[in-house]
Amino acid sequence: MPAYKEENGTWSVKFKYKNAAGENKQKTKRGFERKKDADAWESMFKSQFIKSSDIPFDAFIIKYMDDLTQNEKIEVTTAARKQNMIDTKIGLFFKKTPINEITPLDVLNWQTWVRQKGYDEFDSEYGYADTYLKAVNNELSAMLNYGRRYYNLPTNVAQIAGSMGKSSADAMQIWTLDEFKQFITYVVKTPAKIAFDILYWTGIREGELLALTKSDFLPDHRLIINKNFQVVKGESIIKAPKTESSIRCISIPEFLYDEVMAYADKLYGLEPTDRLFMFTASYLRKEIKAAAASADLPPIRVHDLRHSHVSLLIEMGFNVIAISERIGHKDVSVTLDTYAHLYPGKGKEMALGLHNVNSNGLTSGQGTMEAQLLSLMTEIKQSLPATISEYENDDIIVWDYRNKRKNIISFQDLPTMLTLKPDPEAAYNTMLEDGYMELTPDTILCFSKRGMPTQYL
């Protein structure tokens, strides 16, 4: 029965339910100041036992996150980020709507709401990044897939509605060396200036920067990177990096070491193991935006200083393997996938290099033969435009991720699968650009060489 008002003015609820053993029970709860508080308590209580798709969305959130955290499927920092995203970008919209009453049109309206929220609350000019919008959309889709598995939700309406955003960012924004030098002269606050210098000249991540201590800078001009700073539910946390490759010791320029030591020596009472920078990432975002505007430079993100560092190393001619180790990528392929587009215009240089190798052999002092050949072949491969012909002899995976069934067809058989879809060339381009194509709400296509997208496994 609905909540009812007692003679003393408070509200009570009384209802029947089935416990985990399937036994019929009755529950009464009194003393609520408002009717909506009583209704909310009843909804939360029932959610502990409801296993059907009419569970309210806010109760569903609790069950979803409890499963991920209590069963240790995700780390505490990941859980905090996920919870914040769900609470602020998803839960606020769907609220108490039963998950089986959410329609594809509701999802489209929600996507519009999230985009507008980006302009209203994050950046009035650019809104949320396309990759962030994609991540938010993927989170809702993952939740509804969870509902299909455990709450008898008949379909994932997020997949029917289609996604928003992009799985990969557009061409990254970078500053050249001259642009960075122009920018840094407009940074007024000393802590920000030192921080931006470290980011540009080392290529480390923001979280790695904010965790740095004086003792991390060694007298022989090396920098130890072995921790990461994050804020979780308002609490500052220093934790080890996620991967072993992120733990590294890199060489830094002498001028940067001297600059950091001079700054550290002026910090009163600073212990060797105290953090050098007692601000958070939001401070850096404000400072880079203000200084870029003053310097009349195109705005970039703080993370783009890392990209700018890699771009500088590439222009200086450093091997991709050395770059990958320096910036803490777990695999060279990650570096190549991220920065391949920074190798334009290298064709003539490679042709000249091949001519010289043919005439004179490999020059001593340029690294091992394996390193030179790997770098050379990588640059050749990345300088060529992606073409459909690269996949003409590749198998096509047809993956029914609802029923976990896989079928493999040849490239030549693919047009048969697309008789009701756009022309095959458009489909090929979609698979080339995105890594996959959604054929139906439950089926995707992907090239065998590209591999299966993890969100559909």
Answer whether residue 20 shows pLDDT above 60.
Answer: no
Domain with CATH 1.10.443.10 in the chain: 177-312
Residues 162-204 pLDDT 10s: 999 876 655 568 898 999 999 999 999 999 999 999 999 999 9
Residue 265: which pLDDT band, with cuts at 50, 70 and 90?
Answer: very high
Residues paired with 409 in a beta bridge:
396
- In the predicted model, what is the mean pLDDT of the chain? 80
Long-range contacts of 81-84 (CB under 8 A, 24+ apart): 82/139
Amino acid sitting at position 80: A
Residues 6+ apart with CB under 8 A from 121: none
∠ CA 349-372-309, nearest 5°, is: 75
Greater confidence, 332 or 420? Answer: 332
Look up tokens 């050098």; give the residue: 276
Percent of the chain with pLDDT over 70: 75
Q: Do the Cβ atoms of 434 and 446 come closer than 8 Å?
A: no
Q: What is the mean predicted confidence (pLDDT) over 289-305?
A: 92
Specify the pTM: 0.53
Q: What is the pLDDT of residue 396?
A: 77
Answer whether residue 143 shows pLDDT above 60.
Answer: yes
Q: What is the pLDDT of residue 22?
A: 63
Q: What is the pLDDT of residue 182?
A: 95
Closest CA relative to residue 319, chosen from 269, 259, 258, 374:
374
Collapsing DSSP to helix, strand or coil, 195 comes out as helix
What's the fold here for domain 177-312? hpI Integrase; Chain A (1.10.443)
What backbone phi and psi angles, to 5 degrees, belong to 445?
A: -120, 140
Collapsing DSSP to helix, strand or coil, 202 comes out as helix
Alpha carbon distance 221, 238 (integer Å): 24
Q: What is the mean predicted confidence (pLDDT) over 102-127?
A: 89
Domain with CATH 1.10.150.130 in the chain: 50-161
Indicate the burial class of 282 (C-beta count within 10 angstroms; 0-12, 13-18, 19 or more).
exposed
Which numeric CATH code is attached to 50-161? 1.10.150.130
Q: What is the mean predicted confidence (pLDDT) over 328-347?
A: 68
Q: What is the pLDDT of residue 406?
A: 75
Beta strands in 192-330 (DSSP E): 217-218, 222-225, 228-232, 235-239, 248-251
Alpha carbon distance 196, 285 (integer Å): 11
Residue 356: which pLDDT band, with cuts at 50, 70 and 90?
Answer: low
Q: What is the mean predicted confidence (pLDDT) over 363-389?
A: 47
What backbone phi and psi angles, to 5 degrees, belong to 315?
A: -65, -30
Percent of the chain with pLDDT over 90: 34
Q: Do the Cβ atoms of 256 and 249 come closer than 8 Å?
A: no
Residues 6+ apart with CB under 8 A from 410: 395, 396
